[in-house]
Amino acid sequence: AQKVTQAQTEISVVEKEDVTLDCVYETRDTTYYLFWYKQPPSGELVFLIRRNSFDEQNEISGRYSWNFQKSTSSFNFTITASQVVDSAVYFCALINPRGNTPLVFGKGTRLSVIA
């Protein structure tokens, strides 16, 4: 069975602080993909990143960075110098690319960035 755990339900930071959102996953598959999505108050899911299980390179995109560690089954997301516009719910998700399976989502972390 596949499972995604986001232990942090809510995080509140002051603008310009760095913040890391944790994601731990469980899967028996050797091939899988991990995702992060942002859900602003409008509700629409915004795709942020996809990482396959064979690529453990960390990635940086502007103020966003991701740390993928297979040894600890974690795929953490860091926002540097947070801004008010970063306030949203962030979901980590997992999929097995084989078979007719949907994305498995974590419960999400609600991030509030205070000015």
Partner 1 sequence: GAVVSQHPSWVICKSGTSVKIECRSLDFQATTMFWYRQFPKQSLMLMATSNEGSKATYEQGVEKDKFLINHASLTLSTLTVTSAHPEDSSFYICSARISGTYEQYFGPGTRLTVT
Verify binding: residue 30, partner 1, rule CB under 8 A: no
Asked if residue 62 binds partner 1 (CB under 8 A), the reply is no
Q: Does 43 bind partner 1 (CB under 8 A)?
A: yes
Residue 38 CA, chain-centre distance (Å), reads: 8
Q: Please tell me the count of residues contacting partner 1 according to CB under 8 A.
A: 20
Count CB-CB contacts under 10 A for residue 59. 13
Residue 59 Cβ vs partner 1, minimum distance, rounded to whole Å: 18
Distance between CA atoms of residues 26 and 39, nearest Å: 23
* φ/ψ (deg, to 5) at 18: -90, 150
Which spans of this chain sit near partner 1 (rule: CB under 8 A)?
Answer: 33, 37, 42-45, 47, 91, 95-98, 100, 102-103, 105-108, 110
